[in-house]
Chain A
Amino acid sequence: MPYKYIGRTTDFKGKTLWEIVGNLKNFGVGRIVARNRMERYPEPCYMKILKVETLPNPEVVTLDNLRKVRVWVERTFRGKTDPQPVVIESASYKADYKLIPKDEEEDYCRIVRKLEGGILPKTIEFPPILKELILRDAGAKEGTTEEPRLELVYNRKSLRNRYRIAEDGEQPTVNFTMGLGKPVSPSLYEGIKLDQ
């Protein structure tokens, strides 16, 4: 009958850093290591080992007390590399790391540039009552096909990443409506005619 270990569960999946680094010649300097926990993000997260300093083996090795190692890495988190190298020591006992083979390195680290978030519209319809008022005021010029449009003001800083505002004559990919739009839980709106 084997040893039966009783304790809290973790969702770590992998090996400790020492087990990876100690199995490699020259302690794996220049190899790429990734953490299983960081795989939840769509962008690649990995760490490139720059320098390794070994720490002594603990006197009593138990499942709680594993060997740690001090590793300087160049960390890339969600596609963005940190400018300065980072030390990993206190997290090196976590059995969460995996080594990426040399032939798969390029594949793993490729940042797939997501398509542009979209083009946002420059103008939008006026709210219904205001529209009526404006049309009434400009009532003399009936029959104009060009109805007045409200120019939208965006928070420029938040647009920097993925979206941009449409130029004149460009078709926006994202559409803003004056109506309620598509409800998140349509069951609440059964029987009601929504003006989308």
Chain B
Amino acid sequence: MSAVDVDIFVNSTTDNSYIDENLDLVHKLRLSADTGNTLPSTSHALIRMLIQCENKDDLLNSLDDRLNYGLFLDFHVANLLLDTYWKRKDFTSGARTASQLMLQEEFNHPLSNSLSLLHCYNYLLQPDGWPEYPKPEEPEEEVKVRVKYLRNFYDDDHFDLRDPKKIVGKTLAMFTKGKDDVISKSLNILGLALYDKKDLVEKAVSECATEGTVLYKEIIELVPPENENIKKLKTESADVNSMLISNVIKAVQETSENDIAQQCEIYLKWETDRVNALEEQKKRLLTAKRLSDIEDIKTIIKEKETKLWFFNNEEEIERAIEAKRVYYPKRWFGKKKKPKKIDEGYIPPEVSQSSTKY
């Protein structure tokens, strides 16, 4: 199982009929030792193929299951995905993609940021369609399994998040962290509230209250009703959607040319990388094959040698045969003596001075 071969296969099968095989191959690669050498073009090509064949479930499930598939989003693919989902108005999938970006903590690209915020906000306006994570199968009766050491339950608040509210909340909070404009601040509070971090919410709310910033009503309305201190904030209504969209357009204007040029370069680089990796693999396999051939020849020659030099080495061969004789330590076949059985009814004789006759 080699990473380069899988990469070449995934990149060359542009037809939709090979999806299952591709996923299977990528899964098998992930379980092998060569995962460390996976080329980034593999996941790029596979995700684009999945977009092309419009297989939403497979795509999002395998993106989620990083340990088994190892598909990661780079900015180009992420923007592509978010854009396709925006055109289809599929905000749930967009929110899921955004959460993947959040898990990898990649907040550098302004276009990805703005698109993710857009999708998350729109998802929250109509939250549905997030699939439930399948629970592992369990037998009906209690089955006891013996293990050497028990593993303690641990929930890191990051990769182990399963509640869609918390995931979207954390995405919003992390994407808008540190930013100063009103929309970011409001989305930040919303995100923190959904993510259930009451103390951080209070801190942000008190900051806004002291600075007197006016937040957007539409966003604050989405905050779950348990957070009562939200009411302290001043709000005004604004068309959040259009503001987010204008952010996206701004980001596009900033970054599109650069991105396009960079992506073309990256494609060329990937091609050369792939060719180099293939050459290296060929070299490695060739050297390995040559070594094994040499070993074979060596064994054949050694056999010939024994045959030709038999009469010279006859005495040594006889000595070697004698040396193979195994000497066993002497074993003892005697009978073990049992200790004298004491008769339980035995009463020892009474010995007294007077009984002696001498």
Contacts and interface: CB of A to CB of B under 8 A. Distances in A.
Interface stretch (A15-23, A161-169, A173-181): A15-23
Contact of B154 (A9, A14, A27): A14
B145 A23 contact: no
B24 to A, nearest CB: 15
A118 interface: no
Contacts of B140: 1
A131 interface: no
Contact of A15 (B72, B149, B154): B154
A156 B138 CA distance: 65
Contacts of A64: 147-149
B67 interface: yes
B151 to A, nearest CB: 5
Interface in B129-150: 138-150
A101 B158 contact: yes
Contacts of A12: 151-152
Given A10-B152, A52-B36, A57-B31, A3 B66 contact: no
A22 B224 CA distance: 34
A128 to B, nearest CB: 58
Interface string A30-49: 00000000000000000000
Given A95-B152, A101-B158, A1 B138 contact: yes
Nearest to B36: A54
B32 interface: yes
Contacts of A101: 105, 158
B150 A13 contact: no
A4 B143 CA distance: 6
A62 interface: yes
Interface in B60-87: 66-67, 70, 72-73
Contacts of B159: 15, 19-20, 23
A9 B146 CA distance: 12
B152 A1 contact: no
B156 interface: yes
Given A1-B142, A57-B32, A101-B105, A7 B154 contact: no
Interface in B18-53: 31-36
B158 A56 contact: no
B66 A7 contact: no
Given A15-B154, A62-B147, A98-B156, A56 B142 contact: no
Contact of B33 (A8, A22, A55): A55
B184 to A, nearest CB: 15
A57 B146 CA distance: 21
A9 B154 CA distance: 14
Contacts of A99: 156, 158
A15 B156 contact: yes
Contacts of A62: 147
Contacts of B144: 3-6
B32 A22 contact: no
Contact of A22 (B66, B149, B154, B177): B66
B105 A95 contact: no
A54 B70 CA distance: 12
A54 B158 CA distance: 22
Contacts of B106: 25
B266 interface: no
A63 B147 CA distance: 7
A152 interface: no
B6 to A, nearest CB: 14
Given A101-B158, A102-B105, A3 B143 contact: yes
Contacts of A98: 156
25 contacts: A2-B142, A3-B145, A4-B143, A4-B145, A5-B147, A5-B150, A6-B144, A6-B146, A10-B149, A12-B151, A14-B156, A15-B154, A22-B66, A23-B67, A25-B72, A26-B72, A52-B36, A53-B36, A54-B34, A55-B33, A56-B33, A57-B32, A64-B147, A95-B152, A101-B158
Interface of B: 31-36, 66-67, 70, 72-73, 103-106, 138-152, 154, 156, 158-159, 177
Interface of A: 1-15, 18-20, 22-27, 52-57, 62-64, 95, 98-99, 101-103
Given A4-B143, A63-B145, 5 more contacts: A1-B141, A23-B103, A27-B36, A56-B31, A57-B32
Q: Which 3 A-B pairs rank lowest in CB-CB distance, beginning with the nearest?
A: A1-B142, A7-B147, A57-B31
